Amino acid sequence: MLANYNDLNQRKKEIETQLDELKKVFNQYFDMAFGKNVKGELTVNDYKLQRQIRITEKYEQEATVHRLEELSLMDLIQKKPDEAKIKSALHLGFLKEEDLEGCKTINMSQAIYIKSVDSK
């Protein structure tokens, strides 16, 4: 069992390395064909290749707390910015996007999906 586990673990690492290389190639293709951080789709024979873009926004803790204190909006602070309350305050107009300029970071990640397409 130990030898089998070790063998499977080694093959898993090799497969993950190959998958990472293929993902890089697919992302390079989508960057050239559609643009950086743009979703896209391609069908080749019975396979569909898709790239989706996930966007994550976060408020930088120190800068946001400082800015909210300057704006006397202490209800929006809980030792760290309360993102749900900030979004509500933005939605209700108590707070403007410009008020928090420089406080938000936006991260993007690329996801590759391959599906077998039913050929009919």
Q: How confident is the model at residue 28 (pLDDT cuts 50, 70, 90)?
A: very high
Q: Where do we find the tokens 């024979």?
A: 45
Once rounded to an integer, what is the mean pLDDT over residues 34-57? 93
| Encoded tokens for 81 | 């910015």
59: how many CB neighbours lie within 10 A of its CB? 20
Same domain, 35 and 2: yes
Q: What is the largest CA-CA distance in the chain?
A: 63
* Residue numbers of the domain that contains 80: 61-102
Q: Where do we find the tokens 């873009």?
A: 53
pTM over 0.85: no
Residue 81 confidence (pLDDT) above 70 = yes
Same domain, 47 and 6: yes
Say how far apart CA 80 and CA 62 lie, in whole Å. 8
Same domain, 40 and 97: no
Same domain, 55 and 1: yes
Residue 18 confidence (pLDDT) above 70 = yes
Contact status, residue 52 vs residue 39, Cβ threshold 8 Å: yes
Residue 120 confidence (pLDDT) above 70 = no
Give tens-digit pLDDT for 90-102: 999 999 989 998 8
How many domains is the chain built from? 2
The one-letter code for the residue type at 43 is T
Mean pLDDT of the chain: 89
Residue 69 confidence (pLDDT) above 70 = yes
Q: How confident is the model at residue 119 (pLDDT cuts 50, 70, 90)?
A: low
